[in-house]
Structure 1
Amino acid sequence: MKVSGSVALVTGANRGIGRQFARLLLERGASKVYATARNPESIDIPGVQTLRLDIADPASIEEAASVATDVDLLINNAGISTHTNLVTGDLETIRLEMDTHFYGTLGMIRAFAPVLATNGGGAIVNMLSATSWFSHDGDNAYAAAKAAAWSLTNGVRLELGKQKTLVTGVFLGLADTDMVADFEGPKVDPADVVRAALDGVEAGKLEVLVDEWSAHVKASLARDPFEFYGPSLSS
């Protein structure tokens, strides 16, 4: 999969990592970039083709797929973070997390898989998170939804391999975006996240670990979970 000459569609392209995807795809030679958002008027990137798209709305997804029939690179970036726990949190808010990160991503893949097949297979990038692999008190709905999206990514990769579609999962800790503005700690430049993701796609990688934190968390899965969660359980 080559970025240069590709036709890409980016969800959540009005800010943060999605905005950098749209910008850098053009910079790296994509022939067309569909930049999508629930409010496309908020997209201010010269050279893109804007589309209205709400990934939590199946009808909106189908409409976008009927327009963007030349796509061969799908970037599933749109997401939310409601900072909701599972035991005491509002169930509708928890469902919104799952509807966005799992069902929304799945809806995009189901709608665009035939488009990608027609256009030679292409690639899908799913923006995931280190929280696909660990939970955090205060944000457990997000972690559960991202864990589901990771499993989804592994599953559709097997199914779409038959049509030669590459499916790449991208993982990181914190990027310097509005979503995590209130969090303290090291944050990755969103442009660096996008560069790593696009380099990974061109290299045919199944997973891209953007930062050391993501690599650390994934490595911890092979160890006793008490090593990771012990201090939190005793506090």
Structure 2
Amino acid sequence: MTDITGQVALVTGANRGLGAAFVADLLARGAAKVYAAARKPESIDAADPRVVPIALDVTDAASVAAVAAAAGDVTLVVNNAGIAVGEQFASGDLDAIRSEFDTNFWGPVLVTRAFAPVIAANGGGAFVNMHSALSWVGVGSYSATKAALWSASNSLRVELAPQNIEVVGVHVGWVDTDMAAHTNDPKVAPEQVVTEALDALQAGEAEAIVGDFAQLVKSKLSDDVRALYPQLVAN
């Protein structure tokens, strides 16, 4: 279990959407400092003196290393930065798919590798990783990036436990942010996602399953695979 009071956090993709919501809730729960990371830190709302905007490109190992060196007091990392390119594997643009993996999978891996020693040196802490309900049901390249991150989080949870570092995975369907502006499907408010994610962290849970869609998908994981893909069932 992790008490957020007094923690020093880093949130990636902190300039809008879920990232901005994470920053706000961490402050409300008593975080001592929040490094709000984005490619354009000037876009960060730093009205609260505890917010420290910092430039970070999670796809650039040198950028990640520089931030880890500058933010040596971090005890909690939220791996939130992500993109969606909407490509299919059989016919989609491979460069776009690679960029999606660089951000959604390799980005959190690079950040974790850089900050795990920092957090361990500070006595332990946690990573909160934004997966997706699409970690468990495939709809193209985005799902694959999140499935890979889910698997990595499971491995990291075991690897980092001896260093007193927790890993919380967050699964949710559509979130009401710019990324989901193209769909009219039901969406979960960013504030609900962040509340349930940080509640899970504080309760010592390994995962937060947020919203009806994510809970439905998880409930079907032990069924025949076609339960998640009705289009494969013959009429």
Q: TM-score, normalised by structure 1?
A: 0.96
1:23, 1:45 within 8 Å by CA — same for their partners in 2?
no
Task: Indicate the residue corresponding to 1:28 in structure 2.
Answer: 29
Amino acid corresponding to residue 39 of structure 2 in structure 1: R
- Code of the residue aligned with 2:134 in structure 1: it is T
Secondary structure in 2 matching 1:144: helix
| Matched residue, 2:38 | 37
User: Secondary structure at 2:169's aligned position in 1?
Assistant: strand
The residue type equivalent to 1:174 in the other structure is W
- Superposed, which structure 2 residues align to 1:39-58 within 5 Å? 39-47=40-48, 48-58=51-61
Runs of 4 or more consecutive aligned structure 1 residues displaced over 4 Å after TM superposition: 232-235
Q: Please list the CA deviations of residues 120-178 of structure 1 after superposition, one character each: whole Å capped at 9, or x if unmatched.
A: 11010001100000012xxx110000000000000111100110101000110011000
The match for 1:84 among 83, 87, 90 is 87
| Residue correspondence of structure 1 range 108-187 to structure 2 within 5 A | 108-136=111-139, 140-187=140-187
CA distance in 1, matches of 2:46, 2:169: 25
- Aligned partner of 1:70 in structure 2 is 73
Q: Distance in 2 between matches of 1:128 and 1:179?
A: 14
State the shift of 1:231 in Å: 2.7
RMSD: 1.2
Q: What runs of 5+ residues in structure 1 fail to find an aligned partner?
A: none
Is the CA contact (8 Å cut-off) linking 1:12 and 1:36 kept in structure 2? yes
Deviates more, 1:121-130 or 1:43-52: 43-52
CA apart distance, 1:234: 5.7
Mapped to 2, the partners of 1:94 and 1:45 lie a distance apart of 33
Give the gaps of 5 or more residues in structure 2. none
State how far apart, in whole Å, the 2-side matches of 1:200 and 1:68 are.
Answer: 25
Any conservation in 2 of the 1:8–1:72 contact (CA below 8 Å)? yes
* Residue-by-residue CA offset, 1:193-226 (whole Å, 9 max, x unaligned): 1111111100011000011211111121100111
Aligned length: 232
TM-score by length of 2: 0.96
Pairwise CA distance, 1:233: 6.2
* Cα displacement string for residues 91-125 of structure 1 (whole angstroms, at most 9, x for unaligned residues): 11111111111111100000000001011110100
Contact 2:46 2:52 in 1 (8 A): no
Aligned match of 1:219? 219
Aligned AA (2:213)? W
CA displacement at 1:24 relative to structure 2: 1.3
Aligned to 1:93: 96
Distance 2:210 2:82 in 1: 18
- Greater shift in the superposed pair: 221-230 or 88-97: 221-230
Q: What secondary structure sits across from 1:167 in the alignment?
A: strand
Distance 1:232 1:91 in 2: 26
User: Which residue does 1:198 correspond to in 2?
Assistant: 198
Partner of 1:7: 8
Residues 46 and 53, structure 2, Cα contact 8 Å, conserved in 1: no
User: What is the identity, as a one-letter code, of the residue corresponding to 2:55?
Assistant: R
The offset of 1:45, in angstroms, is 3.8
